[in-house]
Amino acid sequence: MAKVGYARVSTQDQSLELQIRILKDAGCRKIFSDTAPGSDTRRKGLNDLKQYLRAGDTLLVTRIDRIARSVLDLQQLVVYLKEQEIELRATEQPISTDSAAGKAFLDMLGVFAEFELNIRKERQLEGIAAAKAAGKYKGRKPTATPIKNQIIVMHQNHESISNIAKHCNVSRNTVYKIIREQFK
């Protein structure tokens, strides 16, 4: 039975140091971490953590919003941990998955974390709309036409999407978007 920690910050501008120190002080022998949005469930540190945890372990986080930002993600994680016989605890919040009251409080914190995320997104969209109305926000520059033509030619030559993206130094999503636009 080991205490295993997980720390997360959203951006490179933020520091993991404080969370890691708190988790070490709480007795964690091993700590996994990520620098990624909480809404991204494909975090490497989180996936490595899940592979590392064993039955009887306790997963420690400083706050619930460090591990999940949506109620659904949190509930899926709690179900997964329960199936694996792993307890979830937070150092700064009185929650634990080993009691009904702890689980109820955990669910409430998950609701508030998701609410906070949604409010932040709404404010961001409002700010973008205001900037567009004032003519200050132009959005991302469109992909240059020569690159679009190159992507189309490579696709017609049956190159893989990954190879096209790598060769043209664009994302796979950009390649898919350009290909879709070609057929409109």
Just list the catalytic residues: 10
Q: How many CB atoms lie within 10 A of CB 95?
A: 23
Quote the distance between the C-alpha of residue 18 and its chain's center: 20
Question: Is residue 31 within 8 Å of residue 5, measured between CB atoms?
Answer: yes
* Spatial separation of the C-alpha atoms in residues 178 and 175, rounded to whole Å: 5
Residues β-bridged to residue 182: none
Query: Hey, is 179 helix, strand or coil?
Result: helix
* Spatial separation of the C-alpha atoms in residues 63 and 9, rounded to whole Å: 11
* Spatial separation of the C-alpha atoms in residues 65 and 80, rounded to whole Å: 17
Q: Which helix (H) or strand (E) holds 20?
A: helix 17-25
Residues β-bridged to residue 65: none
Query: Hey, is 127 helix, strand or coil?
Result: helix
